[in-house]
Structure 1
Amino acid sequence: MTMQRKLSIALFAAVLATTTGMSAGGTPTWQLSDTGTTARFRGLAPVSDKVAWVSGSAGTILRTVDGGRTWQSVGPPGTAELQFRDIEATDARRAVALTIGTGTDSRIYTTSDGGRSWTESFRNEDPNAFYDCITFLDHRRGLALSDPVDGKFRILATADGGRSWQLRPTAGMPDALPGEFAFAASGTCLVAAAGKAWFATGGGASARVFSSSDAGRTWSVTGTPIPSGPSAGIYSLAFRDRHHGIAVGGDYAAPGSAPDGAAYLHGHTWKVARTVPGEYRSGAAWVGRGPAALAVGPTGSDLSTDGGRTWKRFDTGSFDAVLCVPRACWASGEQGRVAKLRWH
């Protein structure tokens, strides 16, 4: 390990300890948890260092309340043919989960009793819609994003914690580019922070970021330098507040190479990171309130100590999603992989 990389990791450890209260020293590593399943978990909803939910293939939803030592299978019955690509949770009892797919495969389920029972609160009946991600601005107000229908991205909104959903009018949505869509890769193509929402795209001539300050009624859009194509673009967004954002992506069909595959928000402009992960990344997260951030993908994990301007690899294991809460960072992915960040 080079001296520069040692210093970078040491700085990251110090930043992590300061911003999250996590005890950090040595080298960061992912400590895997035995989930007892081989489902692929692209949906991740950590609540604390003890409580977390994951959702994924074959209708699988798991929950832990003891920091990952044990997991309970709590998914809705009769959903084995569905893929839960996103899940949002407020505590150990309440969660909202999204299944993806065309037509009626796109559904939203809610629970308020830790997954013992679920209510289907939305089922898409439009054969042209395909819902990718959900997010919540607070405990009651949430949004769900569909790929374009009739040339515009579609937004669902809830004002009661996900128990009911209404389709937003598209008058305030800019036109989509030909071939443009969002990626249902980690539940973070649509995110919220400080009362504002953003979603990211690819597939068309430009990878773009849309933003809304009025709960999804109107949107503005800006281009980014991250390359876009049929399977390329921005796969994940993370915002620390309204002014500090990071974006990661690449090409899912070519995961080993992603030139210019990470960017950070500088003022109102997205700029390519000076040192990018260099490979496809599907998930990104801020660590606390400072400049530290994480990115994950099927070929490894990277860290940044400077707000996404430079990235350093620290792990080569496969993950799809990453999120941090006070005192813990969690990651999830294929073959039932769920882990928490540890220091050795």
Structure 2
Amino acid sequence: MGPAAAALAAALVVAAPAVAEPAPAHGETPTPRWALKDSGTDARFRGLSAVSRDTAWVAGSKGTVLRTTDGGALWRNVSPPGAGDLEFRDIEAFDARRAVVLAIGEGEASRVYRTEDGGITWTESFRNTDAKAFYDCLTFLDRRHGLAVSDPVDGRFRILSTSDGGRSWKVLPGDGMPAAEDGEAGFAASGQCLVGSGPRDVWLATGGGATARVLHSADRGLTWTATGTPVPAGDPARGVFALAFRDRTHGLAVGGDYRADQASPRAAAVSPDGGRTWTTADRPPPAYRSGVTWLPRSRTAALAVGPTGTDLTTDGGRTWRTLDTGSYDTVDCTPDLGCWASGEKGRIARLER
């Protein structure tokens, strides 16, 4: 862990829920906390892509896409025209001008849009025409290569691929994908059911079946292997909702049962071997979590978020501690130590001192 990341993680360990606090005494270091930003909307933002401490994109309900380039002081509505009936659940931004956004839903409700001018104009680059497909998540391995995943079609998860930055897409052959379990699906809850690390490795989180599984591909989605996790499944509302890999070896999985009246034991797991094996966290988050991210420049610190709070691990996912009780659906951090979260009722926040 670098010095800056170590200082941030150490400060987060003693963080309290983000409520109004007295100003720190002279010379005292303020505790990092989520600072809410005024988004100017009540849309629910399950899609988030942090570019830097200054620049971030969010995507959500009612076809809403917002972008900030000043640390959240001002959010510009850059929603694609005519998208008001769409549910955006994932967005991947390359910088302040270029981004790709995924709309989810059955049949033609699943679409991909791309912008190269900061959202002034958008191009629809994919529209699903298979009534049996329902796309959940999107990820990019670099500026050219990206993947999107649909719930199983004819018994297998379907993978959509681009090699030109999202300008065009093709469905990959399904013969390299293991058969799905009965009832198995992905969760379009945070844009983190499909994640990558490096130029070729990608992981897919599932739930709804008898076992909550993580599928891994080392060849950009052509072939996959599946591994069971200890996160509870066996119900359409339970499973692994989000993944984070800080490299191609060290992974975190969070999830549980998204129903507010249901407990979520064993809501987090850790993998030391690229997703081949998973172990339950010794002290998992106390409730369902839908988003997770590693802290930048850290080998051991990460944040998980959900409707009932934010948790921090400083030991690589073995133990988690709740440090905020605000509701967030997803979280993302950048190399310059910019951490953002977003969720229901227009909530967007940045971690600040």
1:159-193 C-alpha deviation (Å, 9 max, x unpaired): 00000000000000000000000000000000001
1:60-95 C-alpha deviation (Å, 9 max, x unpaired): 000000010001000101110101100000000000
CA RMSD in angstroms, aligned pairs only: 1.6
TM-score (norm 2): 0.90
- Partners of 1:131 and 1:188 in 2: how far apart? 13
Aligned twin of 1:109 = 113
Question: What is the aligned counterpart of 1:198 among 197, 203, 223?
Answer: 203
How many matched pairs?
A: 328
Give the letter aligned to residue 254 of structure 1. A
- Partners of 1:89 and 1:108 in 2: how far apart? 13
- 1:190-269 correspondence to structure 2 within 5 Å: 190-195=194-199, 196-228=201-233, 229-254=235-260, 257-267=263-273, 268-269=276-277
Identity of paired residues, percent?
A: 61
Deviation at 1:149, TM superposition (A): 0.3
Aligned twin of 1:312 = 321
Give the letter aligned to residue 282 of structure 1. S
Question: What is the aligned counterpart of 1:167 among 151, 168, 171?
Answer: 171
Aligned twin of 1:19 = none
Q: Secondary structure at the match of 2:147?
A: strand
Whether 1:282 and 2:296 are equivalent positions in the alignment is: no
Aligned twin of 2:279 = 271
Give the letter aligned to residue 180 of structure 1. E
Give the letter aligned to residue 217 of structure 1. L
- Partners of 1:180 and 1:15 in 2: how far apart? 36
Aligned twin of 1:46 = 50
Give the letter aligned to residue 316 of structure 1. T
- The 10-residue stretch of structure 1 (137-146 or 266-275) with the greater mean CA deviation from structure 2: 266-275
- Partners of 2:149 and 2:327 in 1: how far apart? 26
With over 3 angstroms needed to count, the CA separation of the structure-2 counterparts of 1:103 and 1:61, relative to structure 1, is same
- Partners of 1:176 and 1:26 in 2: how far apart? 48
* Gapped regions of structure 2 (runs ≥ 5): 1-5, 14-27
1:174-228 C-alpha deviation (Å, 9 max, x unpaired): 0000000000000000000122100100000000000111111111110000001
- Partners of 1:80 and 1:337 in 2: how far apart? 19
Deviation at 1:258, TM superposition (A): 1.0
Aligned twin of 2:347 = 337
With over 3 angstroms needed to count, the CA separation of the structure-2 counterparts of 1:95 and 1:209, relative to structure 1, is same
- Partners of 1:254 and 1:161 in 2: how far apart? 38
Deviation at 1:131, TM superposition (A): 0.1
Give the letter aligned to residue 270 of structure 2. Y
2:12–2:312 contact (8 Å) kept in structure 1? no
Q: Secondary structure at the match of 2:175?
A: helix
- Partners of 1:123 and 1:86 in 2: how far apart? 15
- Partners of 1:311 and 1:15 in 2: how far apart? 12
- Partners of 1:314 and 1:256 in 2: how far apart? 22
Give the letter aligned to residue 214 of structure 2. V
1:211–1:220 contact (8 Å) kept in structure 2? yes
- Partners of 2:238 and 2:352 in 1: how far apart? 31
Question: What is the aligned counterpart of 1:88 among 76, 92, 95?
Answer: 92
Whether 1:12 and 2:9 are equivalent positions in the alignment is: yes
Give the letter aligned to residue 128 of structure 2. N
TM-score (norm 1): 0.93
Whether 1:325 and 2:334 are equivalent positions in the alignment is: yes
1:27-82 C-alpha deviation (Å, 9 max, x unpaired): 33100000100000000011001110000000100000001000100010111010
Aligned twin of 1:118 = 122
With over 3 angstroms needed to count, the CA separation of the structure-2 counterparts of 1:26 and 1:312, relative to structure 1, is farther
* Gapped regions of structure 1 (runs ≥ 5): 1-8, 17-23
With over 3 angstroms needed to count, the CA separation of the structure-2 counterparts of 1:11 and 1:64, relative to structure 1, is closer
1:296–1:322 contact (8 Å) kept in structure 2? yes
Give the letter aligned to residue 347 of structure 2. R
- Partners of 1:161 and 1:88 in 2: how far apart? 10
Q: Secondary structure at the match of 1:93?
A: coil
Q: Secondary structure at the match of 2:108?
A: helix
Aligned twin of 2:78 = 74
